[in-house]
Amino acid sequence: MSLSEKLEVAVRDIENDFYIDDDFLIKASQYFEESMRAGLQAPEQDRAHMPMIPTYVTSLPTGKEKGLFLAADLGGTNFRVCSVDLKGDHTFDLKQSKFRIPLDLMKGDHADDLFRFLATKIAAFLDENHQDCRVKGSKPLKLGFTFSFPVDQTALNRGTLLRWTKSFDIPDTVGRDVVQLLQANLTVLEVNVDVVALANDTVGTLLSRSYANNPEYTHANTVIGLIFGTGTNGAYYESFDRIPKLKNKPEGAKGMVINTEWGSFDNELKILPNTLYDKIVDSETANKGYHMFEKRVSGLFLGEILRVALLDLFEKGLIFQELYKERGGSLPHRLITPWQLDSEVLSYIQIDDSTALKMSELILQNTLRLPTTADERVVIQRITRAISKRAAQLAAIPIATIIRETKDLYADDERDFEVGCDGSVIEFYPGFRDEIMKAFNVIDPLKGSRKKVHLKIAKDGSGVGAALIAATTD
């Protein structure tokens, strides 16, 4: 068998490994439902099901809320501070600043090092945008804190960290109240801000889209808020009678927003696909064996899956052999270093239809310092498309399942369902939403219904949503 024939066989094997059929989607949706129900009954610490964390947010915005509120968003490599001026007519004015978090604070020894940094950036934002709020004696601004990591939330403004995810690892923060940590550091710096609410980014996205959505014009109810970006998660409104583990139910409310933490779906790998490359990527992470769903669908991991696949083909002697010889027995440093291949690169390769995939050649050279042949670029594009299609198909599973499980709450309402979406992958990755909807239709959660489902981008969702939660506090 020639080298080109061996390469073709190897690439087909990879494509087959990442292939998902209709039967899998239906079974995975059923298992996701079981995991949801188990999570609504049992404590969050049980690894075998999704956390399904009560958020103590008991209503969705009407679009009529007014006032100036702050939001702080810690969810990845950046810290974002926003002020949101709610106009009361489904619109708002937004000011925001982003601050990159130093790597040594993401993997530090002491929680206060990180939270002191966050407090100083909130102070800097106020100095630049709202100096009047820094005057002594002025009324404290309410702040909603979007904290996109697993927490055990026991009240709207109380939540202890269960574990870090993504690239964070500060051991002494686990088990501590993150609201108190931020408030204490703001107080030390004499910043006139009250941290009144703890939110997850997907809860914020749900509320933000609910505020902006005017059902009189869209004829749709916002039922899910989700993130497909660096990480992934979703939130939705659940009725109290289906949350057995919630003992203290707020009076006057019928239900509560649930933060699913669906990145942890099927940590046991009972149904999720688990290729060689998935195993390698998991072994490289700080939270091995956790967030197994997230590691197959979110932007932080898609590029890494492609990188380890390419190295596997190289080690089998099928690609980059001439390059290896030309470099005197080495490959580009960025190719052999974990986490150097960004999912944004995959998005360009995904849709490249230029002659000999010249656009892909340029971006691989610029980002990885990786020269490629035309045949190698075809291989890279095929694997890229297999990885991204699987990710989008998997992404449809929680959306379809939650809509199927909650549609009865809206049985008396003829309006469609709307899903508020945030995150770079679902907003910008070419074809991602289309592939989600194809898989969604296979699962078909609305059998026999005339209602439709619309995926809508919730711009600045996590920040605006946190401000909206702050607006609801007394």
CB atoms within 10 A of CB 31: 16
Taking alpha carbons only, the member of 102, 94, 196, 189 closest to residue 145 is 196
Helix (H) or strand (E) segment spanning residue 159: strand 158-161
Question: pLDDT-based confidence at 412, cuts 50/70/90?
Answer: confident
Specify whether the CB–CB gap between 225 and 208 falls below 8 A. Answer: yes
Average pLDDT in the 423-442 region? 97
Average pLDDT in the 169-196 region? 94
CA 247 to chain CA mean position, Å: 29
* pLDDT value of position 219: 86
Percent of the chain topping pLDDT 90:
77
Domain with CATH 3.30.420.40 in the chain: 67-199
Torsion of CA 53, 57, 61, 65, to 10 degrees: -140
Specify whether the CB–CB gap between 397 and 50 falls below 8 A. Answer: no
Q: What is the DSSP letter of 231?
A: S
Average pLDDT in the 441-445 region? 95
Compare 25 and 136 and report the one with higher pLDDT: 25
CB atoms within 10 A of CB 188: 12
Question: pLDDT-based confidence at 181, cuts 50/70/90?
Answer: very high
Alpha-carbon distance values, 190 to 140, 213, 399 (Å): 11, 37, 43
Question: pLDDT-based confidence at 321, cuts 50/70/90?
Answer: very high
Tracing tokens 């066989």 back to the chain, one arrives at 9
* pLDDT value of position 459: 78
CA 145 to chain CA mean position, Å: 16
CA distance 391 to 31: 17
* pLDDT value of position 251: 81
Domain with CATH 3.40.367.20 in the chain: 1-53+217-459
At what angle are helices 343-350 and 374-406 packed, to 10 degrees?
Answer: 110
For the cut 80, the answer to whether the pLDDT of residue 42 exceeds it is no
Q: What is the DSSP letter of 249?
A: P
Specify whether the CB–CB gap between 255 and 227 falls below 8 A. Answer: no
Average pLDDT in the 197-211 region? 91
For the cut 70, the answer to whether the pLDDT of residue 174 exceeds it is yes
Average pLDDT in the 242-255 region? 87
* pLDDT value of position 253: 86
Indicate which residues carry an active-site annotation: 148, 163, 201
Burial of 467 (0-12, 13-18, 19+ CB in 10 A): buried
* pLDDT value of position 349: 98
For the cut 60, the answer to whether the pLDDT of residue 120 exceeds it is yes
Residue 369, C-beta contacts closer than 8 angstroms, at least 6 positions apart: 332, 333, 334, 335
Compare 267 and 449 and report the one with higher pLDDT: 267
Out of 3.30.2130.30, 3.30.420.40, 3.30.1360.120, 3.40.50.300, which CATH number does the structure's domain 67-199 have? Answer: 3.30.420.40
For the cut 80, the answer to whether the pLDDT of residue 44 exceeds it is no
Q: Are strands 78-87 and 151-155 parallel, antiparallel or unpaired?
A: unpaired
Question: pLDDT-based confidence at 45, cuts 50/70/90?
Answer: low
Least confident of 131-140, 171-180, 357-366, 435-444: 131-140
Taking alpha carbons only, the member of 451, 467, 463 closest to residue 218 is 451
HSE toward the beta carbon, residue 11, CA cutoff 13 A: 21
Instruction: Round the average pLDDT of the chain to a whole number and report it.
Output: 93
Alpha helices (runs of H) in 42-159, residue ranges in sequence order: 103-106, 111-129
- pLDDT 10s digits, 5-34: 999 999 999 999 999 999 999 999 999 999
For the cut 80, the answer to whether the pLDDT of residue 453 exceeds it is yes
- pLDDT 10s digits, 52-71: 989 999 989 989 999 999 99
CA distance 396 to 425: 13
Least confident of 111-125, 177-191, 450-464: 450-464
CATH architecture of the region 1-53+217-459? 3-Layer(aba) Sandwich (3.40)
Amino acid at 472: T
For the cut 80, the answer to whether the pLDDT of residue 48 exceeds it is no
* pLDDT value of position 463: 84
